[in-house]
Amino acid sequence: MSAPLIVSIPHRLSREEARRRLQSGLTRAASHVPVLSVDEEHWDGDRMTFRVRALGQAASGHVDIADDHVRLEVMLPWLLQRFAEVAQKAIRQSGRLLLEKRS
């Protein structure tokens, strides 16, 4: 089994505000990526578990919201592992935009 793809994104929001932004963020992000669809999304407190599909491959993981960062961990099937570095960069960039503190 392969190692998970892990992305940690710092934030300066309250946990509640970070969660509010993330609750609409996954579906909205998937709508901008034609090959990505959200199969499942479930919130339990400050943890979201999810399953997505890309290029016919399913990937599952979770997002944990902490006081100062959000941590995403996803297990990619072997076919999608080839795109892990690109995915990590895109997730980090989108997450920072979503979680940046606005005045």
pLDDT at 70 over 90: yes
Phi/psi for 52 (5° steps) reads -125, 165
pLDDT at 1 over 70: no
- Cα angle for residues 15, 29, 89 (degrees, 5° grid): 85
Outline where 1-103 has alpha helix (H). Answer: 15-31, 78-81, 84-99
User: Stretch 2-21: mean pLDDT, rounded?
Assistant: 92
More confident residue, 89 or 24: 89
Calpha distance 47→43 (Å, rounded): 6
